[in-house]
């Protein structure tokens, strides 16, 4: 029986490059990327994956043009707002991780709604990272620990993980980066310490079910030692 990763971290890269290759506007690439993500969710659920953490928008992405940032914020708002019924039907718990206070107020309201509406779902867990950075996550955890005045001798790795955005979840088994880049780009830096890494040259809108199955097959072939 194949060894299926329970928690996958996804970098869905290449939407803008895909659009450029097609000679269309970059916004259309993001739209195609959203459609591909719906496919990816189904592939994961059917394969037995339990948790996905997807890189939606990084702390560094705020440096992009105002037009693109606004488009992406509206895309997140539309995807989450219109997807609540579907998430509940499929038993998906949705959690947004990142600097929520930096997001547009209308998106913050949608986030509150989708998180509240899906909080009791147990079949699948979706973390959507918006305005998220791995360094920010670690610093934010440190600040919360300091605010609570926890003695240094009581701070363990297990306690520290309780203050991260992914508190309560198993560490990622597999980090999948699509789009040809081979780096972590300031994502899940603590959580991915012992994750298996897999890089696909495919641009995200072109990533297929066959590519996903090849990823799982490669994961199954690997032996995880965790430093032992």
Give catalytic residues, as residue numbers.
13, 61
Give the alpha-carbon dihedral of 132, 130, 42, 207, to 10 degrees: -70
CA distance linking residue 182 with residue 106, whole number of Å = 34
User: Under a CB-based contact definition with an 8 Å cutoff, are residues 26 and 203 in contact?
Assistant: no
Residue 130's nearest CA partner among 146, 152, 114, 148 is 114
Q: Is 20 exposed, middle or buried (0-12, 13-18, 19+ CB in 10 A)?
A: middle
The side-by-side arrangement of strands in the sheet containing 124-132 is 92-97, 124-132, 51-58, 7-12, 174-178, 196-200
Per the DSSP assignment, residues forming a β-bridge with 51 are: 7, 125
CA distance linking residue 138 with residue 69, whole number of Å = 25
CA distance linking residue 171 with residue 196, whole number of Å = 11
Token pair, residue 15, equals 């939407």
SS3 21: helix
């Amino acid at each position: 029986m194949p060894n299926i990763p329970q928690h996958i971290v996804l970098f869905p890269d290449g939407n803008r490059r895909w659009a450029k290759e097609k000679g269309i506007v970059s916004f259309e690439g993001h739209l195609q990327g959203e459609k591909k993500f719906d496919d990816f969710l189904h592939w994961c659920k059917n394969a037995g994956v339990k948790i996905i953490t997807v890189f939606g928008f990084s702390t560094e992405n705020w440096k992009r043009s105002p037009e693109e940032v606004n488009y992406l914020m509206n895309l997140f708002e539309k995807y989450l707002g219109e997807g609540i019924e579907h998430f509940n039907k499929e038993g998906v718990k949705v959690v947004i991780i990142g600097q929520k206070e930096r997001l547009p107020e209308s998106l913050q309201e949608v986030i509150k709604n989708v998180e509240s509406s899906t909080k009791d779902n147990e079949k699948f867990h979706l973390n959507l990272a918006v305005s998220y950075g791995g360094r920010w996550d670690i610093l934010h955890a440190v600040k919360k620990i300091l605010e609570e005045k926890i003695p240094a001798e009581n701070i363990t790795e297990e306690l520290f993980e309780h203050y991260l955005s992914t508190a309560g979840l198993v560490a990622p088994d597999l980090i999948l980066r699509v789009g040809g880049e081979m780096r972590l780009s300031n994502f899940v830096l603590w959580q991915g310490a012992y994750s298996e890494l897999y890089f696909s040259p495919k641009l995200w809108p072109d990533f297929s079910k066959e590519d996903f199955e090849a990823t799982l097959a490669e994961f199954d072939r690997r032996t995880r030692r965790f430093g032992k």
